[in-house]
Amino acid sequence: MADFRVRQGSGASSGSQRRASIISGIYANRAASCRSQSTTSDGKAVDRGSLAGNKYAIRVFDEEGKDVTPHPLFHSDPNTVVPRRTYGSSSTSISNASTTESILDEIVEPGSRGDTTVSLSDVQVRQEEIKEELTKADLDRRVDLYLTETETVWILDMPSVVVSVESEDAGRVLERNRIYVDICTNRPGNDRFVEKMMQTINGAAKNKEVQCDKIIMEDKGMMVTSWDLYDLFHISEIEPTSKAEGSRTTTGKSSKSHTTKEHDRTMSVSSDRGSPTSSTMILESAVLARIHEEEECHSEAVLTSENFQQDLFFMERILMENIFQPKLAAYRQFPVLTDPDVTSDTSGTVTAMKEAKQEKHDKEKKDKEEQKEAFIDPSILSGLNKTPEEIVPPRLERLWSYVCDLTNGHSVSSMVWSKVNPDLLAVGYGAFDFKEQKKGLACCWSLKNPMWPERIFQCEHGVTALDFSMASPNLLAVGMYNGSVAIYDVRSCNDAALLDSSESSNKHTGPVWQLRWVEQDRGATGDGKKERLICISADGRITEWLIQKRLDCTDLIKIKRTESEKKKLPGEKERKSEALISQQAAGMCFDFHPKDTNFYLAGTEEGHIHQCSCSCNEQFLKTYRGHKGPVYKVAWNPFSTDMFLSCSADWSIILWHQDSQTPILTFSSATAFVHDIMWSPKSAFIFAAANESRVEIWDLSVSTLNPVISLFANPRVKFTSVLFAKNTDCLLVGDSKGEVSVFELQNLAAPNSNKVDTLRDVIGPAVAI
């Protein structure tokens, strides 16, 4: 603000007094507010009222003391002021952000010329322009604004007190400095300097107290871990997915019922197993919700979320594993682990292993008593505790059974292993008798959960036959009592069949007693091994089913009734041929030759077994007569492939050779239907048979008269089917109560795989050919 000169009195140019006032006005205004505006002359606009007010507060006196405060020259006229005001206001608004210099710039309006100080010239210009009258045309006219740079205005000038040694003044400055130093040194005793004291007025001090809010200090500690950092970086990816999950509050009813079912199951676990096992479940939500409704929704969301289902699933499996661990280990032929800490009684824990083993044996004894199993040799019980040097007779040890509430009461009709997963078992439930028919069931059980099946397929009619496909291992073909065949996809939990034969016109009219996927060389068509679904049913047809959009079948062969050879008794007249009710005999079972899949055997209800070929569908190749009742099962020996076994309702099992039309050996040990037989997959000599009241294991290398192991069932229960396990020495037995028990075969004669064809040799002496 150094360059302002307030001119008083007579000035060089006209209107100096005005200028004086104006300048002072400017000065005051600038002093007053930083948002300073250069003023025009007096009282121009309303928003300059403050300036005017300022101006009026300032009174100018010239040298004589006369009040020379000028009166406002210009009285604001609304008409003319308006345009002016807009100009002015625009400049004011613009000048807000700009420096003082630019304020001056903008105020410069066309035609401004200043010869004195910049501010004065501005002001002068504006003053002159006030007198113009603006027309409407003028308002619309384009106005050119010229911005020019003014001279530099010094606001603050602090001349330096440092002078370069090389400058012109250097010498003078140095001289002055020296003089000054001299003066300073001369000062104390010099007459020219007198010390004088002055008293200043001290202003009255005032104490002022200010109170502020308490400053609250908080300590916060944080531990940063490496995964925390990792999470932060990935939070953007995780966010959208978690939001999607959170919004899913409602899910289908099936999943909810599944949850409750599982819950019930775990509850039933504790009730079924009674004292030994009890598992309790706590479910906890780690989310704190502020609103109660939100909390409810959230817990619903949690309970029905997929993650939760999966967690429950895993948990259940682990529980099962814990419960069944010793049994499963025996199944897998691992050494059984026992928990050294856990002892049911308070006996000491010395040599825990032995003791646990003892306990296990005790438990087995209890089990045996419960099951009312009778062994051939009762001394086995004591024999267990003896050292293993003695030969222990073979026995079946019950490991566990696949049973659940759902299957209780349904009779097991067939069992089959999955072709790819040797731990997956499919069991069909359905009654054999016409009178006992109810809705059937096909379940897939897994080794990992013996208490609840993995898949449950409800069927309209009793299931009488099952098989897994080899080519597409997820397909399960199910044959039913009403003759229809359905194909299920095991991968899905869906209850509906993938394909059903109900619409097929050619379907069976009698129960499908056996069903199998057979791999065959279709040399004619040029394909490699192709798999076909073949069934035999009580309406006397063996059919092959084609899997296209709908299930349709073609006949392989129709089983014609053959007359039985009857010896003519003397005295009897020649009889006419029997009047046959139907031309066809009901087929009960079939088996394809393990080596040459063109041949197969078919067992019928009349007791005959026919050997047929796929290439010839009119006639049988051979007929084996020997059974007096319906043949329930035929099975080729997997090792000695020219012998086969058949069982029937005439209480007997017959061993045949394929070349001879009379039986080789007959096994009969009980007066009961033999429902099922199966050769052991490990040995050529061993097979299992299910009578109604017993399960028998026969070992032909040991004895052909008596079974090696014979296991009795509970009185009310009948055994209906047997299945050997492929990867372990276990036998599965299904009964009429719906229970599939797993037994471990112990101490059977070890099979010698070198001797393949010696079955013939073994039984040779016993055969009367």
Partner 1 sequence: GIPIRTTLDNSTTVQYAGLLHQLIMKARSTVRDIDPQNDLTFLRIRSKKHEIMVAPDKEYLLIVIQNPCE
Specify which residues 646 forms β-bridges with: 634, 654
Q: How far apart are CA 361 and CA 351, in angstroms?
A: 16
- Does 286 engage in binding with partner 1 (CB under 8 A)? yes
Q: Which is nearer to partner 1, 319 or 551 (CB)?
A: 319
Shortest distance, position 221 Cβ to partner 1, whole Å: 16
Give 102 or 266: the residue with its C-beta nearer to partner 1: 266
Which lies closer to partner 1 via its Cβ, residue 349 or residue 408?
Answer: 349
Stretch that binds partner 1, among 172-180, 271-279, 531-539, 678-686 (CB under 8 A): 271-279
Beta bridge mates, 589:
603
Is 79 one of the binding residues for partner 1 (CB under 8 A)?
A: no
Minimum distance of partner 1 from residue 358's CB (angstroms): 13
Our finding on whether 334 is near partner 1 (CB under 8 A) is no
Is 344 one of the binding residues for partner 1 (CB under 8 A)? yes
d(CA 295, CA 301): 10
Query: Pattern 290-329, binding to partner 1, x per CB under 8 A?
Result: -----x--xx-xxx-x-xx--xx-xx--xx--xx--x---
281 binds partner 1 (CB under 8 A): yes
User: By CB under 8 A, which span of 40-48, 226-234, 679-687, 704-712 interacts with partner 1?
Assistant: 226-234
Q: Which residue number, 318 or 621, has a Cβ lying nearer to partner 1?
A: 318
Q: How many Cβ atoms are within 10 Å of 518's Cβ, its own excluded?
A: 18
From 1-9, 32-40, 172-180, 219-227, span contacting partner 1 (CB under 8 A): 219-227
339 binds partner 1 (CB under 8 A): yes
For partner 1, the binding residue among 140, 284, 563, 659 (CB under 8 A) is: 284
Residues 479/499, Cβ–Cβ less than 8 Å: no
230 binds partner 1 (CB under 8 A): yes
Instruction: Compare residues 361 and 568 and give the one whose CB is closer to partner 1.
Output: 361
Q: Is 77 exposed, middle or buried (0-12, 13-18, 19+ CB in 10 A)?
A: exposed
CB of 365 to partner 1, least distance (A): 16
Could you tell me the maximum CA-CA distance found in the chain, to the nearest angstrom? 187
Considering only CA atoms, which of 673, 699, 701, 703 is closest in space to residue 688?
699
- Minimum CB distance to partner 1 smaller for 298 or for 448: 298
User: E-assigned strands of 20-63?
Assistant: none
273 lies in the site for partner 1, by CB under 8 A? yes
Among 288, 750, 768, 769, binds partner 1 (CB under 8 A): 288
What residues from 231 to 250 belong to the interface with partner 1 (CB under 8 A)?
231, 242
CB of 380 to partner 1, least distance (A): 24
Tell me how far, at minimum, the Cβ of 620 lies from partner 1, in Å: 56
Total site size for partner 1, rule CB under 8 A: 49
Residue of 699, 669, 674, 695 whose CA lies nearest to 684: 699
Provide the minimum distance between the beta carbon of 270 and partner 1 in the complex, in angstroms, as a whole number.
Answer: 8
Contact 422, 446 (CB under 8 A): no
For residue 275, the minimal CB distance to partner 1 (Å) is 9
Q: Least distance in Å: CB of 240 to partner 1?
A: 14
352 binds partner 1 (CB under 8 A): no
- The conformation of residue 473, written as its DSSP 8-state character, comes to T
Place of tokens 């710039």: 105
Q: Nearest-CA neighbor of 432 among 633, 584, 626, 655? A: 633
Amino acid at 75: H
Q: Which is nearer to partner 1, 96 or 225 (CB)?
A: 225
Alpha carbons 229 and 724: distance in angstroms, whole number: 55
Q: What is the DSSP string of 49-62?
A: HHHHHHHHH---B-
- Least separation in angstroms between CB 285 and partner 1: 5
Q: Taking a C-beta distance cutoff of 8 angstroms, is the pair 647, 609 a contact?
A: no
Based on CB atoms, which residue is closest to partner 1, 250 or 379? Answer: 250
335 touches partner 1 (CB under 8 A): no
Q: For the CB of residue 382, give the shortest distance to partner 1 in the complex, in Å.
A: 24
Which of 422, 445, 587 has its CA nearest to residue 515? Answer: 587
- If one asks whether residue 283 binds partner 1 (CB under 8 A), the answer comes out as yes
User: By C-beta, is 302 or 767 nearer to partner 1?
Assistant: 302
CB 320 within 8 A of CB 327: no
20 CB contacts (<8 Å, ≥6 apart)? 6, 7, 8, 11, 60, 68
Which window, 32-40, 168-176, 335-343, 365-373, contacts partner 1 (CB under 8 A)? 335-343
If the CB atoms of residues 251 and 747 are measured against partner 1, the closer one turns out to be 251
> CA-CA distance, 435 to 412, in Å (whole number)?
16
DSSP 199: -
Say if residues 41 and 126 touch (Cβ distance below 8 Å). Answer: yes
Judged by beta carbon, residue 341 or residue 618, the one nearer partner 1 is: 341
Give the pair of three-digit tokens for residue 265: 């199951």
The nearest distance, CB 593 to partner 1, in angstroms, is 47
CA distance 304 to 298: 10
The pair of three-digit structure tokens given for residue 727, joined into one six-digit string: 């990867």
Q: Which is nearer to partner 1, 273 or 595 (CB)?
A: 273
- Residue 220 beta carbon to partner 1: minimum distance, rounded to whole angstroms: 19
Q: Which of 183, 342, 353, 496 binds partner 1 (CB under 8 A)?
A: 342
Q: Which residues of 39-57 are buried (b: 16+ CB within 10 A; e: fewer)?
A: bbbbbbbeebeebbebbee
Distance of alpha carbon 314 from alpha carbon 577, whole angstroms: 66
C-alpha distance from residue 615 to each of 524, 598, 603, 618, 738 (Å): 11, 7, 19, 9, 40
| Residue appearing with tokens 């003014």 | 150
Instruction: Provide the residue type at 474 as one letter.
Output: N
Angstrom CA distances, 456 to 171, 311, 419, stand at 115, 21, 19
From 21-29, 85-93, 202-210, 221-229, span contacting partner 1 (CB under 8 A): 221-229
Q: 295 or 364: whose CB is closer to partner 1? A: 295
In angstroms, give the least distance from the CB of 492 to partner 1.
25
Least Å from the CB of residue 330 to partner 1: 14
Residue number, 138 or 272, with CB nearest to partner 1: 272
Name which of 356 and 723 has its Cβ closer to partner 1: 356
CB neighbour burial string for 81-118, b if at least 16 within 10 angstroms, e if fewer: beebbebbeebbeebeeeeeebbbbbbbeeebebeebb
Positions 579 through 638 that interact with partner 1 (CB under 8 A): none
In angstroms, rounded to a whole number, what is the distance separating the alpha carbons of residues 354 and 360?
10
Binding residues for partner 1 (CB under 8 A): 225-227, 229-231, 242, 263, 266-267, 273, 276-288, 295, 298-299, 301-303, 305, 307-308, 311-312, 314-315, 318-319, 322-323, 326, 338-339, 341-342, 344, 356, 359
